[in-house]
Amino acid sequence: MTSRLWRSVLLASALALTACATNPYTERQQLLLLPESEDVKLGAQAYDQVLHDPKVKISHDPREVEPVKRVAARIIEAAKSSKYAERARQFDWEVTVIKNDKTMNAFALPGGKIAVYTGIFPVAKNEAGLAAILGHEVTHALARHGAERMSQGLLAQLGMEAASIALGTGTNPAVGQATMAALGLGVNVGVLLPFSRAHESEADHVGLLLAAQAGYDPHEAVHVWERMEQLSKNQPPEFLSTHPGHGTRIKQLEEWMPEALSYYHPQPGFHAADLPALAPR
């Protein structure tokens, strides 16, 4: 074995062994190679880039902004008393509503940067549905799923480099390209994408608990994905998707519902209002 190959193997092994963490809710082992400060820095940069995109229109309409900020505030408070409390209290939270009725999306970045596109309103339908969505997105940030994905990519890159050296691909470019293409496909479909689906399921699970803890009926999360299933078209097959199928999500949410209900304590007089209807297209 060449010294270069040894270095690649040893580095990959050392990183894998010394950078493990455990999700406090699901007890899933996580590989985290990046310092948390780097997460927050990258999150802030990405958020700034989105908001300064000339194609992005920030909503200042109180009918759109106020319900989003109201729900986000309750989710953030729940996060600050969750198993991620220390991280949630350190985040510099910020919430923006983006006026784009065609985009069914919302995200939360490391550091607590949240954006909600108005196109998600018909999916959420009401503030409880939006709480399920924001609980999911906030969990991605709190659980450091982005850093874990980058860590997996780095480790895969080191592994592919070691494989390339071991197979001697540099001496036969045609064979090397075919081999590395096969390895790349195997890595992407067999290792990386399933981890991403694990992230999505974990965000569904913990997000459900955060929404319930924030005072929103967790049953609404099931209705969110039922509406998403009706509104989504041409979804790729589940085994090639980074997201679980809608049916899988609904089944899992129903399985987690008893746990979520243990977090849910309805407040007298509290009502999850409907979100504003979008203008006809």
64, 137, 200, 220: which one is catalytic?
Answer: 137
Q: Is residue 27 annotated as part of the catalytic site, yes or no?
A: no
Output Rg (C-alpha) for the chain, integer angstroms. 21
Which residue, 168, 199, 193, is CA-closest to 32? 199
Question: Looking at the DSSP assignment, which residues form a beta bridge with residue 114?
Answer: 95, 108
Which residue, 25, 91, 98, 85, is CA-closest to 57? 98
How would DSSP label each residue in the chain? --HHHHHHHHHHHHHHHHSEEE-TTT--EEE--S-HHHHHHHHHHHHHHHHT-TT--B---HHHHHHHHHHHHHHHHHHHTSTTHHHHHHS--EEEEE--TT---EEEETTTEEEEEGGGHHHH-BHHHHHHHHHHHHHHHHTTHHHHHHHHHHHHHHHHHHHHHHTTGGG-HHHHHHHHHHHHHHHIIIIIHHHHHHHHHHHHHHHHHHHHHTT--THHHHHHHHHHHHH--SPPPGGG-SS--HHHHHHHHHHHHHHHHHH--PPTT---PBPPPPPP-
Q: Which residues are catalytic?
A: 137
